[in-house]
Amino acid sequence: MRIYGNRQLKTLPGRETRPTTARVREAVFNIWQDKLDNCRWLDICAGNGAMGAEALSRGAQLVVGIEQSGRACGIIKENWTKIAQHGQLFQIIKGDARIKLKNLTGEQFELIYFDPPYESDLYQPVLDLISELNLLTIGGEIAVEHDSRIGDSLIVTGLKQIRSKTYGNTGLTFYTVPSDSC
């Protein structure tokens, strides 16, 4: 797998993780291109870390990844170590996102990417936690990757849906903190 700048990333063999396709990755980074420089990025269900690596390669100041698989965490660390430049920070947190997000209380991120296994029951509880813990800055955005068949069915108290895109079998739904919650 290659990312911005034609850099090679290591991936896990088999089907333990489902990497975000190059088409979807490109779409997300095109949408967020003006928000990346010096941003704080949270990658939930980070897989092999491709999204976080891409954020680092495009100038993110801090990238935090949460991933349940210990093998994947090792790959993420390897990939992000190769990509991070002087002054960029990253952290990989191993464990269930529903539990580990609580460890980020008091932190805020401008950009959050959430890509759980499509069949999981993580969507609603994790999005509710992000809102409840106030992890997203005002003006920040969350992109949620999901099976395109679920459409716009995710409703999150405290967050406002701002756009939805479909790329084949993959859907992306974007949320922000509503301006009236300032």
Domain parsing of the chain, residue ranges: 2-8+23-61+68-87+96-111+129-149+156-181
CB neighbour list of residue 97: distance below 8 Å, 6 or more residues apart: 44, 45, 66, 68, 116, 122, 126
- In terms of DSSP bridges, do strands 170-176 and 136-147 run parallel, antiparallel, or are they unpaired? antiparallel
* CATH class name, domain 2-8+23-61+68-87+96-111+129-149+156-181: alpha beta
Q: Give the strands of the sheet with 160-167, arranged side by side.
A: 89-94, 62-67, 40-44, 109-114, 136-147, 170-176, 160-167
Distance CA(76)–CA(46), nearest Å, equals 8
Structure tokens, 20: 């975000």
What pLDDT is recorded for position 22? 83
Whole-prediction pTM: 0.91
Local confidence pLDDT in tens for the 182 residues of the chain: 445 455 667 676 655 556 788 899 999 999 999 999 999 999 999 998 999 999 999 999 999 999 999 999 999 999 999 999 999 999 999 999 999 999 999 999 999 999 998 888 999 999 999 999 999 999 999 999 998 887 666 777 889 999 999 999 999 999 999 876 54
Instruction: Provide DSSP, 40-61.
Output: EEEEES-TTSHHHHHHHHTT-S
What pLDDT is recorded for position 2? 45
What pLDDT is recorded for position 179? 75
